[in-house]
Amino acid sequence: MSVGEHVFDVVIIGSGPAGVAVAERLYEKHPAATIAVVERGPVLLRQHFYDSPRSINERDRFLVEHGACPWEGDLSRGGRLLPCLGGRGVVGGGQLHRFYEQDFTLWREGLWGVGPGALNPYFVEAEKRLLGSTQSAGPSQDFVCDVLGGFNARHPPHGPNSEVAGTIEGGYPHKSSAERLLGLLGRDRDSGRKRLSVFTETMVVKLDGSRSRSSRVHKARCVRLRQGEESTLSIHGAVFVLAASPVESARLVMVSEIAEAQSSSSAVGRYLAEHIYCRGYLDVSDRPELRHGPVNVYIPPLGSGLDDRYQIEIRSTTHSDDNRLLLRVTGSAAMDPRRENRVLISPDRVDAHGVAKAITELTRSPDDERRTISMISLMDDVVSSFGSRWLTPPRPLPCGASYHEVGTLRISAAEQESAATRNGLLFGTENVFVGDGAAFASVGTANPILTLTAMGYRLADGLVHLLDSAS
């Protein structure tokens, strides 16, 4: 059954931190633009998971219950999406870092087409919006920073209104994408002028475009799933923004046969990368210094070379069996950007809507392995500084478990290794823009949400000019 047709200036596919950054900036900077945000999942949370005093353990259970992995291949071992309003941003965001400056140019194969200078004003704006009362600044936190002072351990980036969070495991809530999007809907209601439409439980299955040399996409073909009933929907737009997460955005491009995806020299689907996660636990139940508030500390890269591209996070949590106080130590190392790491379309496996599934191929380079070994050695040193031994020594998490995948539709400084222009326009199309981590030319060392947001704001400013010049 077809339930209708809709027309918008800009159609954004995906409501995670990336898609919402584009939507909110556009909403504010272009008072006439009509915007659609299309999200395959339902509304699960209206605010960030940590906005009620809930723990890391509860969050992990929530993710297992509601998450789903639509991919085949390497990333399916540990990776997953959270198909809901706000995407994975409703559970992630304890650490909101800027992309480290040297990582924009450190990898020869991963030179960014967008520099730190161009992004700076957008980072400032992203920090103003996202970093709220997110810092834990109690005595336990200070104690850990002191013990690990030799490693340059720091409080996570925080906003001006920092305060101590309530519980020992309590999180570090920031304004999640779901909350910000719902806020914009509220503004629409108050003004009595509907500019923003949010379609939940609506999955874009194909982008339909003209078949000329350069595709002009005119509609997103969608399937709507409500109360077990499936219907179809067409959402028309002047401009489309891909923000479905790197693997899903690339899949959509490939199944829609837009862009230059078919040629073997194309960068579409290529340069998939993520952070390699290793995690261990430390029993600190006998340390009275750690009973005074939560801990959320990070150790930035210790040097500026390729071998140093990892960071370590230390957070307090409790043992799931007996509530013992633990420190969870997570190392996260960059993967090199490599052409052979990629997303493909399965020749024979389809999802519930008959759309070809994405296959992910992700292998580690010798440098990735070396970096990981060096990171684990630093994690050992961190634990020794506490005068303790591991309860559980650092173990590599399965591929995908960082939830920081990037690449696949990259904006690189080298045009022949790019899938999109520096303004994010997908090569071979006239009106499809890359709005998520697919655009990153390298994964760098920092967690991605803040950089996704800054990139989204920059893209939105470009779209404002585009819409203005078209009118």
Ligand X SMILES: Cc1cc2nc3c(=O)[nH]c(=O)nc-3n(C[C@H](O)[C@H](O)[C@H](O)COP(=O)(O)OP(=O)(O)OC[C@H]3O[C@@H](n4cnc5c(N)ncnc54)[C@H](O)[C@@H]3O)c2cc1C
Q: Is 296 a binder of ligand X (CB under 6 A)? A: no
Choice between 252 and 399, CB closer to ligand X: 252
Spatial CA neighbour of 432 closest among 238, 260, 233, 222: 238
Q: Is residue 10 within 8 Å of 26, Cβ to Cβ?
A: yes
18 is a site residue for ligand X (CB under 6 A): yes
Query: Based on CB atoms, which residue is closest to ligand X, 356 or 414?
Result: 356
| Listed ranges 3-11, 241-249, 340-348, 362-370: which one lies at the site for ligand X (CB under 6 A) | 241-249
Q: What is the closest distance, in whole angstroms, from the C-beta atom of residue 138 to ligand X in the complex?
A: 19
Say whether residue 179 binds ligand X (CB under 6 A). no
DSSP lists the bridge partners of residue 313 as 298, 330
Q: Name the token pair of 272.
A: 């998939």
Three-class secondary structure of residue 141 per DSSP: helix
Interface segment toward ligand X; rule CB under 6 A; list 25-33, 189-197, 424-432, 441-449:
441-449
For 202, how many CA atoms within 13 A lie in the half-sphere containing its CB?
A: 23
The answer to whether 84 and 37 are in contact (CB under 8 A) is no
- In whole angstroms, how close is the CB of 95 to ligand X at the nearest point? 4
Q: How far is the CB of 213 from ligand X (least distance, A)?
A: 26
Q: Are the C-beta atoms of 295 and 327 separated by less than 8 Å?
A: yes
Name the one range near ligand X by CB under 6 A: 22-30, 79-87, 380-388, 426-434.
Answer: 79-87
Tell whether residue 207 is a contact of ligand X (CB under 6 A). no
64 vs 286, beta carbon nearer ligand X: 64
Alpha carbons within 13 angstroms on the beta-carbon side of residue 134 total: 24
Q: How far is the CB of 423 from ligand X (least distance, A)?
A: 18
94 in contact with ligand X (CB under 6 A)? yes
448 lies in the binding site for ligand X (CB under 6 A): yes
**Degrees, nearest 5: CA angle 46-314-112:** 75
For position 17 contacting ligand X by CB under 6 A, the verdict is: yes
The phi and psi torsions of 457 (rounded to 5 degrees) equal -65, -40
Q: Which part of the chain contacts ligand X (CB under 6 A), choosing from 87-95, 126-134, 227-235, 380-388?
A: 87-95
Asked whether position 35 contacts ligand X by CB under 6 A, the answer is: no
- Binding flag, residue 170, ligand X (CB under 6 A): no
Extract the tokens encoding 85.
């309003």
Residue 34 one-letter amino acid: T
Give 187-201 as a DSSP string: HHHHHT---EEEE-S
Which residue carries 């999109």 as its tokens? 420
Give me the residues paired with residue 318 across strands.
Answer: 325
Residue among 45, 114, 147, 204 that touches ligand X (CB under 6 A): 204
Nearer to ligand X, 33 or 449 (CB): 449
Applying the rule CB under 6 A, the residues between 108 and 167 that interact with ligand X are none
Q: Are 425 and 433 in contact (CB under 8 A)?
A: yes
| Under 8 Å between Cβ of 154 and 313 | no
424 binds ligand X (CB under 6 A): no
Say how far apart CA 460 and CA 426 lie, in whole Å. 15
Judged by CB under 6 A, the residue of 437, 441, 442, 457 near ligand X is 437
Say whether residue 178 binds ligand X (CB under 6 A). Answer: no
Among 55, 135, 141, 245, contact with ligand X (rule: CB under 6 A): 245
Does residue 404 bind ligand X (CB under 6 A)?
yes
In order of 89, 256, 353, 362, the CA distances from 70 in angstroms are: 18, 17, 12, 16
Residue type, 178: A
If binding is defined by CB under 6 A, does position 331 make contact with ligand X?
no
Read off the tokens for 73.
Answer: 């291949």
**Count of CB atoms within 10 A of residue 38's CB?**
28
User: Applying CB under 6 A, which part among 11-19, 112-120, 277-285, 392-400 lies near ligand X?
Assistant: 11-19
Q: Single out the residue of 11, 22, 81, 137 in contact with ligand X (rule: CB under 6 A).
A: 81
Between CA 466 and CA 178, with CA 247 as vertex, the angle to 5 degrees is: 65
Under 8 Å between Cβ of 209 and 202: no
Nearer to ligand X, 78 or 385 (CB): 78
Does residue 356 touch ligand X according to CB under 6 A? no
Give yes or no for residue 96 binding ligand X (CB under 6 A): yes
CB of 469 to ligand X, least distance (A): 27
Residues that bind ligand X (CB under 6 A): 13-19, 38-41, 63, 81, 83-84, 87-89, 91-96, 203-204, 243-245, 248, 252, 403-404, 436-437, 447-449, 452
